[in-house]
């Protein structure tokens, strides 16, 4: 490289850093003037409060307000408020499916936080509308008192074994079905769904309940979230799971910014913080599998690099109503 080219590269880099620093300084000053952040989330109360407390400690000039509600109810609240002309929230974190539905309704704004660079590919969109906070892994789980590691199902198709008929614990897994449609194609995913329905699974509501009932021995095998199983296993419960499915479907909980944020600069500041090493490490302490590539999963078994993982994305929302209708028809719900 000649001297003129070197000067051009150096000048370009200096200009880039100066522009970035100016933009961050403008966000910080704007957030100070706004002085408030409203956070709508489906994240559990202890996790949400811990995240906001750490944010307030770092930025004491911002007062935070938390509103927590389950994902579908939160989406309905946001849409109901918007129809009434009210736009109350700055930042929302919820499931990837609800995020896609909110995007479709024009509720979200694009913001490419710098911290996104450290997030796993597949856990962020190209346009900056959503970024993963952590992922939930759908896991073939089992009671270790009733099922040995050798006979435990290792892949989705193992659930078709006649010995599991009437013995599989299952929530309404529309998102899992939609994710497999994206990964395999509808025909193969539908084959799995129909085969699973033929096994007469025991339907219960809630993945935490599914994990608890697996530990209690109500059913020997189930589909649960790996973090729930790992947490219970660490506390001595007789449960385990297989990380060998092809794929391991990972559903991200994502963070987004409102298209009508009352405090847009505080929202941008919080997005940067929530995706930072500090905040992602905090979520990992709650047994979450973080989206940040440099932070280890809570257990080696949950390491995303060690499995055939598929991250569900917002494409699922384009056909969500169709997936839900098919699922409920097959399971007679």
Residue 91 has pLDDT above 90, yes or no: yes
Mean predicted confidence (pLDDT) in 182-210 = 96
β 168-170/202-203 pair status: parallel
Q: How confident is the model over 263-319, as pLDDT tens digits?
A: 999 999 999 999 999 999 999 999 999 999 999 999 999 999 999 999 999 999 999
pLDDT exceeds cutoff 70 at 13: no
Handedness of CA 55, 304, 170, 317 (dihedral sign): positive
- What single DSSP character describes residue 119? B
Share of residues in the chain with pLDDT > 90 (%): 90
Residues 6 or more apart in contact with residue 199 via CB below 8 angstroms:
159, 160, 164, 165, 166, 168
Q: Does residue 17 have a pLDDT over 50?
A: no
DSSP string, 191-251: HHHHHHHHT--EE-S-HHHHHHHHHHTSSSEEEEEHHHHHHHHHTT-SEEEE---SSEEEE
Q: In sequence order, what are the residues at sequence separation of 6 or more whose Cβ sits closer than 8 angstroms to the Cβ of residue 39?
A: 48, 52, 64, 65, 66, 67, 89, 90, 91, 92, 93, 270
pLDDT class of 239 with cuts at 50, 70, 90: very high
CB 249 within 8 A of CB 173: no
Q: What are the structural domains of the chain?
A: 3-135+252-300 (3.40.190.10), 136-250+317-331 (3.40.190.10)
Residues near 313 by beta carbon (within 8 Å), at least 6 away in sequence: 96, 100, 122, 125, 182
Task: Give Dmax over CA atoms of the chain in angstroms.
Answer: 75
Residues 284 and 290: beta-carbon distance below 8 Å: yes
Q: What is the pLDDT of residue 23?
A: 58
pLDDT tens string 133-156: 999 999 999 999 999 999 999 999
Q: Are 231 and 146 in contact (CB under 8 A)?
A: no
Task: Answer whether 200's CB lies under 8 Å from 266's CB.
Answer: no
Q: What is the mean pLDDT of the chain?
A: 92
pLDDT at 167: 98
Report which of 109, 165, 176, 113 is spatially closest to residue 139, judged by C-alpha positions.
Answer: 176
- Cα 168 to its chain centre, rounded Å, is 25
Distance of alpha carbon 203 from alpha carbon 174, whole angstroms: 13
**Entry pTM:** 0.87
Which positions ≥6 away from 173 have C-beta within 8 Å?
138, 223, 327
């Amino acid at each position: 490289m000649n001297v003129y080219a070197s000067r051009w590269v150096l000048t370009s880099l200096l200009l880039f850093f100066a522009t970035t620093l100016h933009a961050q300084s403008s966000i910080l000053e704007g957030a100070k003037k706004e002085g408030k952040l409203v956070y709508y989330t489906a994240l559990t109360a202890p996790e949400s409060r811990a995240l906001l407390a750490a944010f307030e400690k770092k930025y004491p000039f911002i007062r935070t307000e938390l509103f927590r509600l389950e994902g579908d109810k939160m989406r309905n609240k946001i849409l109901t408020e918007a129809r009434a002309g009210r736009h109350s929230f700055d930042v929302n974190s919820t499931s990837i499916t609800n995020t896609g539905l909110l995007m479709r309704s024009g509720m979200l704004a694009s913001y490419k936080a710098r911290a996104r660079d450290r997030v796993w590919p597949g856990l962020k969109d190209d346009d900056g509308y959503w970024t993963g906070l952590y992922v939930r892994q759908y896991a073939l789980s089992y009671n270790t008192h009733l099922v040995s590691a050798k006979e435990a199902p290792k892949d989705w198709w193992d659930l078709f074994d006649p010995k599991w008929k009437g013995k599989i614990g299952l929530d309404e897994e529309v998102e899992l079905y939609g994710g497999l449609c994206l990964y395999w194609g509808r025909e193969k995913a539908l084959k799995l769904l129909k085969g699973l329905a033929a096994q007469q699974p025991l339907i219960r509501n809630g993945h935490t309940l599914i994990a608890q009932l697996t530990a209690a021995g109500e059913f020997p095998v189930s589909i649960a979230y790996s973090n729930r199983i790992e947490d219970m296993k660490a506390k001595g419960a007789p449960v385990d799971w297989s990380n060998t499915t092809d794929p391991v479907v990972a559903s991200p909980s994502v963070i987004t910014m409102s298209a009508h944020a009352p405090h847009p600069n505080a929202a941008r500041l919080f997005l940067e913080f929530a995706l930072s090493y500090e905040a992602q490490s905090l979520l990992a302490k709650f047994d979450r599998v973080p989206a940040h590539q440099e932070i280890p999963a809570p257990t080696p078994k949950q390491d995303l690099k060690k499995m055939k993982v598929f991250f569900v994305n917002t494409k699922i929302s384009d056909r969500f109503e169709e997936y839900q209708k098919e699922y409920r028809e097959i399971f007679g719900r």
